[in-house]
Amino acid sequence: MGGELLGRIDIPKATAATILIVFLGAAVRRRYYSPLSDIPGPFFASFSVIWQLWHIIKCHTEAAMREMATGLTRQLAGKFVRLSHKEVSISDPAAVREVLQSQMDKANWYKVFSMPDSRYENTMSETSYKEMNRRTRNVAAGYSLSNVIKGEPYIDKALGLFQTQLDRRVASGSSIELDKWVNYLAFDVVGESTFSKSFGFLEAGHDIGNSISNQYKLRLYIALIGHFSWAHDYLLANPLIGHFNLQPSMHVFDTSMAAVKKRSESVETRNDMIELWQQQYRNHPDRMDEKEILAAAVANGSADVDIFKMGAGADTVSCILQAFCYYLLRDTESLKLVREEIDNASLSPIPSYEETRELPVLSACIKESYRIHTPVGFNLPRVSPSPDGVTVCGRYFAPGVILSVSPWVIHRQQSVFGSDAESYNAQRWLGDKDRAIQMEKYMIAFGTGYGSCPGRSLAHMEILKTTALLIRDYEWEQVTKGQVWTFETYFTSIPYNWPVKMRRRRKFNA
């Protein structure tokens, strides 16, 4: 009789019903019986990561976070928004100190940054606070300001080629897609600084092997798969992918790997990052291995791996240089002030770091570019520690809860940056030094705490020198005046689609 009853059961339907019941049970428990149930947020966020995935696909997570920060959080909870069944975003500026500057481990989302595969952990993919500090110490010498300054002549070489390419296009009267050219510049500077070898984008004048365009596909992959970090081990982090050369951006990966191999066999070296990392390995083989050197080199060359942790990555620099040019077209008073300052500064043909670092108006314009269009468009997640949990901004969170902070939200807090925080205003950084110091505490474009970018000195030097050169030697206007640029937020938020016409202001007479 049992067999007859079993024969009457529709196995596929029964299986589907069981799965549905389990799913509904989990959804009900997460939505109504979780310690986070009282925190407001989108409906789908109360029991899944569907809301986050949807906005990744829509390409504008940063806009959704800003909307909630000015809507739900002010009307209901004041500072907390539930992004998923286990993640809470905090808009209170105090979260910069209490979350990002704490010793909480990073969320597993970061594991997706292991490149070229899971055997090569880097400072971006590492989630452990203690292990992260060890890895950072190992590579810190390469990113020190003193070492970056030693490599300034090689940055100048790339800038000279960048200017030559711009001049050719100015002479021809053609429109210029600045997003492409600052990307080429940023990649080539990273190559020169890391292992004394440019990637060759500026000289070629195009995207070699579609390496840069492939980064857009990689960004989407990272943004989505980061929520399922276990799957990364079977996809791009699978060593077989690297073995068969199926990685995106193979030109960047191949150049990085070949340079590390060549350097290890070479007697004559330059004191670049690879050399300093190899010195660290030779002196302290118990602290660092060769895989860690290769992981750091590939991370430095790969824009998305490098974007937040290394800071010197191409995406960061490209984003800030574009924001600088784009927003100054819309703030004519600041453009006038910074141009007067630079014209009166008697800069070298390729402006030096020493000359540009003390220009207050230029620095103000750059800081405001960091603030208004932060390269990182995603929340930065940390994990509430075991076994005691943590209290943040007056609320207790149990172990395992993901607490995240959005740079785009923090950088627009009126309590920190003023009532015009939604607008570009470079002059907010001028005049009141005490206020500028307070605002600086909440600038997290380059991270903060143990998550700070080791490469921010290189990035800042490149940005200072490039912006000074552009302001002094060129004028630019959009081909379509007032056209709003385009960008998608796949962790990073790199603009494009705003071609410009450029004109030489003057030839520099050495």
Number of alpha helices (DSSP H) and beta strands (DSSP E) in the chain: 26, 10
144 three-state secondary structure? coil
Dist. CA 372–CA 350, nearest whole Å? 27
What is 469-487 written as a DSSP string?
Answer: HHHHHEEEEESSTTPPPEE
The vertex-442 CA angle with 75 and 390, nearest 5°, equals: 65
Nearest to 321 by CA among 460, 133, 417: 460
The crossing angle, in degrees rounded to 10, of helices 178-195 and 273-283 is 30
Per DSSP, 387 falls in state T
Q: Which of 495, 315, 378 is nearest to 53 (CA)?
A: 378
d(CA 37, CA 6): 41
Beta bridge mates, 404: 89, 381
3-state class (DSSP) for residue 71: coil
> Quick one: DSSP state of residue 48?
S
Q: Identify whether 116 is preceded by a cis peptide bond (ω within 30 of 0).
A: yes
Helix (H) or strand (E) holding 88: strand 87-90
Binding residue per annotation — 453? yes
Radius of gyration, CA atoms only, the chain: 24
Contacts of 392 (CB under 8 A, 6+ apart): 90, 95, 98, 99, 403
- The two three-digit tokens of residue 253, written as one number: 């990966």
Annotated binding site for heme: which residue ranges? Answer: 453
Annotated binding site: which residue ranges? Answer: 453
